[in-house]
A = this chain, B = another copy of it.
Amino acid sequence: MDEQATGRAVRVEVGEGARAGARNDVTDVAGIRVGHAQRVGDGYRTGVTVVLPPAEGAVAGVDVRGAAPGTRETDLLDPRNMVERVHAIVLSGGSAYGLDAAGGVMHRLADAGVGLPVGAEAGEVVPIVPSAVLYDLGRGGRFRAVPDAGLGALACADAEDGGAVVRGSVGAATGALVGGLAGGVGSASLVLADGTTVGAVAAVNAAGSAVDPRTGALYGAHDGLDGEFPLSLPDRAELEAWGGPAAPGGFNTTIGVVATDLRLTKAQAAKLAGVAQDGLARAVRPAHTMVDGDTVFVLSTGEREGDLAAFQRLLSATASVFARTIADGVLHATGRPGAPSYRDVLPSAVSRDR
């Protein structure tokens, strides 16, 4: 992926000379690790995705823009509040039941001594683990077959192992749907001309559609780098056979994490999370509905000093990275009975350019 450079369409937004990182995923930001755990079968089709910053934590922010959010430990991210650094972000299926996954991650991190030091003794820590959940209840057949603390700890262990982000119908997106198609975990990155790296990972599960029903194109592909997404349109016959996205209904939610090495304040991290939601707005239509709890977290490892101009460049680049992340998740999803994938319904869109 490292030869991918800025596509013509987005050059103004992300800057001349910007290109994808080596993996074109969020782990291109040094120190960021991502892991998944999922359970499929015996009534389950759900999972957990954990994003780990370096052990000392990362400055964080959040933007909750969907109207049906399920969250944990988001109030402490208010820039007025005390805690500066978080030690993990947990994205989970299971609707509000899935908020228990964060507890498993907390205890695993605390066992390793990772967290906010609060006691007199070494190891007396409280890991700061904000979390958001998406709605996938019943998608494996049993309504209350939901992630628990144990599944959260497994996803954390997987993240500790490092490696590139595993994409598709895994982790928090195991049971995901997007406009009636299978949803997935997507990831993307960008190295700006000034050297700043920004990446994102998201579990895409939306009431709206990620696919333009008029053309079959992924909405988020407009933000793609050269060669990143299919540019030719699918066959008309396939498009007509598909019949277009399912009408929005039921509960959903897209949740994600943006990471950057640019040093941000908490307030800047919150601002950046809000602008990342602009990428979701481009890539999913409609987004941020009353039945989506769309939530984006930001992690800043702070390795690179920056100024206002660098932050301004990062803002517009991040909206674009998040749109690519959404398209990537839908492109890598695996179909299942009742929920075909984008590749299943529009194979001609994918085969020609990948």
**Is the C-beta of A74 less than 8 angstroms from some C-beta in chain B?**
yes
A250 contact set on B, CB distance < 8 A: 118
For residue A200, give the distance in angstroms from its CB to the closest CB of chain B. Answer: 20
A72 contact set on B, CB distance < 8 A: 71-73, 99
Check A96 against B128 for contact (C-beta < 8 Å). yes
Task: Say what secondary structure dominates the interface of chain A.
Answer: loop
Which stretch, A11-19, A137-145, A164-172, A177-185, touches the partner chain B? Answer: A137-145
Tell me the nearest residue of chain B to A103, going by C-beta: B100
Tell me the nearest residue of chain B to A77, going by C-beta: B69
Complex partner residue of A99 from B64, B102, B135, B138, CB under 8 angstroms? B102
**Is the C-beta of A81 less than 8 angstroms from some C-beta in chain B?**
yes
- Interface membership of chain A positions 212-251, coded 1 if the CB is closer than 8 angstroms to chain B and 0 otherwise: 0000000000000000000000000000000000000011
A137 contact set on B, CB distance < 8 A: 118-119, 124, 126
In A77-125, the 8 Å CB interface with B consists of 78, 80-83, 95-97, 99-100, 102-103, 106-107, 110, 118-119, 121, 123-124
Q: Size band of the A side of the interface?
A: 35 or more
**Is the C-beta of A52 less than 8 angstroms from some C-beta in chain B?**
no
**Is the C-beta of A68 less than 8 angstroms from some C-beta in chain B?**
yes
Check B75 against A64 for contact (C-beta < 8 Å). yes
**Is the C-beta of A204 less than 8 angstroms from some C-beta in chain B?**
no
**Is the C-beta of A156 less than 8 angstroms from some C-beta in chain B?**
no
Count copies of this chain in the complex: 2
Q: In whole angstroms, what is the CA distance A143 to B127 when docked?
A: 13
- Interface membership of chain A positions 60-74, coded 1 if the CB is closer than 8 angstroms to chain B and 0 otherwise: 000010011111111
Q: In whole angstroms, what is the CA distance A291 to B137 when docked?
A: 37
A123 contact set on B, CB distance < 8 A: 143
- Interface membership of chain A positions 299-342, coded 1 if the CB is closer than 8 angstroms to chain B and 0 otherwise: 00000000000000000000000000000000000000000000
**Is the C-beta of A76 less than 8 angstroms from some C-beta in chain B?**
yes
Complex partner residue of A95 from B68, B69, B118, B251, CB under 8 angstroms? B118
Tell me the nearest residue of chain B to A81, going by C-beta: B67
| Shortest Cβ-Cβ A-B pairs, 9 listed | A100-B103, A69-B75, A72-B72, A71-B75, A67-B82, A64-B75, A67-B81, A82-B290, A68-B82
